[in-house]
Amino acid sequence: MHQLTIAEIIRGLREREFSSVEITRQLLTRIEQLDGDLNSFISVTAESALRQAESADQRLAAGDAPALCGVPIAHKDIFCTRGTRTSCGSKMLDNFVPPYDAHVVEQLQAAGIVSLGKTNMDEFAMGSSNETSYYGPVRNPWNPGHVPGGSSGGSAAAVAAQLVPGATATDTGGSIRQPAALTGTTGLKPTYGRVSRWGMIAFASSLDQGGPIARTAEDVAYLLSAMAGHDPRDSTSLNRPVPDFTATLGDDIRGLRIGVPKEYFSEGLNPDAAARVQDALKEYERLGAELVEISLPHTHLAVPAYYVIAPAEASANLSRFDGVRYGYRCENPADLRDLYMRSRGEGFGEEVKRRILVGAYALSAGYYDAYYNKAQQVRRLIKQDFVQAFGQVDVIMGPTAPNPAFRLNEKTDDPVAMYLEDIYTISANLAGLPAMSLPCGQVNGLPVGLQVIGNYLDEARMLNVAHQYQQATDWHRASAPFAQTAGEQ
């Protein structure tokens, strides 16, 4: 049963082929036996999962259960969960047990899902490789010597290893799409505000967005339909109707105009990965779509603008972790200043400290206009590039990441090289646009992702575009070697 997609689990539960308790037990056993080699989970909530599964089976038997009722998933450890540790991958929150659930968690609980636990992540979502976690790096199921991407690497690796059929994740500069690309899974970052950030521990408030990772676009559509919705507790939450994203998955895409940015196929892109993306674009032509070359001229400014804006917002958001109210507290502080300094110095990891320092500098007196204000002006230019492009095309496509998964520790000593792994994903966050990644091939046995960027609130079209490709190809059905070997055990 661990090989089933969410859509297949939904059908199996409805047709009484198995119960939610049965599939939950199998996945919990699989996690217990196999995750020691991947480190994709921080916390496993077996007892509560079985209780939820029993409740789901009762709802299913009564015949009034929502679509996702009884489906097991996992939550990225950035979403607050009542009574369950929420660490955000950091020593700072290693002892934090929230008294409330995040809005996303509430929504999925109302839909009847079963939560198996909390997945590993880069500390405070800061990273592109899942190597900054206080709990150690996550390994890629396609090759355990390689990274799964970040910051949602735990969610992506757990799905790719068939430990769970789907998981929640977050995306600030590519943290859903990049790990999805590196693990051969499908992940979507919705329009900014489509999914509430309430109860999601903040990194950069104007960029953070929750979304799902699963194996197929159809599965992602099911999860997003449940996750999205207006939340009055989040001032940035959009008060717009949430469609059933599965309802339009069969729509014809003939005549679809696909924009192909010339800036996305320049120096720095792995040539073999570029070839796989081009093959995917040709498949879309065979499906009746039209390719249109476009330009996003300010793409090269996305990384520098992001790494001013995001650290600036992070330095403000992380100031709440002071050793006083909750989280890590140093031992025997001499005074208040010592309490602040040692609690933060001992509780935060190196990458988090680096970004706090950069952000504080960018916001300091005399540098605000030169750095932060200028970065926001660049952000506006990037957004205008997309507005102009969507006057010509329906969706935009290109590579998700410049390279397949790189080796563990390969880039840890070179922060700039690590930051450049997000070069194709950051622009969508700066503009607030929805974007997703789906598998489109392999290079040396490692997955390659195709990125699809849509116009505002156009997730339904994007999911259908991805679904049509997955109906015509088999890349989303490929199993990671770890999942295949583990399945034989």
Catalytic sites, residue numbers: 76, 151, 175
∠ CA 151-152-157, nearest 5°, is 125
- Nearest CA-CA partner of 440 in 254, 285, 278: 278
Pairing of strands 210-214, 166-170: antiparallel
d(CA 476, CA 483): 14
Task: List C-alpha distances in Å: 206 to 112, 171, 193, 431.
Answer: 30, 11, 10, 10
H/E segment holding residue 47: helix 46-62
End-to-end CA distance of the chain: 14
Question: Which residue type sits at 55?
Answer: S
Q: Between helices 20-34 and 6-14, what is the axis angle to 10°?
A: 140
Q: Coil, helix or strand for 282?
A: helix
Query: What is the number of other CB atoms lying within 10 angstroms of the CB of residue 220?
Result: 31
Tokens (6 digits) for 83: 């009574």
- DSSP state at residue 78: T
Do residues 131 and 351 lie in contact, with contact meaning Cβ atoms separated by under 8 Å? no
Backbone φ and ψ of 321, nearest 5°: -90, 90
The answer to whether the bond into 19 is cis (omega within 30° of 0) is: no
- Nearest CA-CA partner of 389 in 234, 251, 259: 259
Do residues 4 and 165 lie in contact, with contact meaning Cβ atoms separated by under 8 Å? yes
Q: Which residues pair with 377 in a beta bridge?
A: none
Tokens (6 digits) for 58: 């009762």
H/E segment holding residue 314: helix 302-317
- DSSP state at residue 191: P
Tokens (6 digits) for 463: 């999911």
- Nearest CA-CA partner of 395 in 320, 465, 313: 465
Q: Which residues contact 241 (CB under 8 A, 6 or more apart)?
A: none
Do residues 221 and 176 lie in contact, with contact meaning Cβ atoms separated by under 8 Å? no
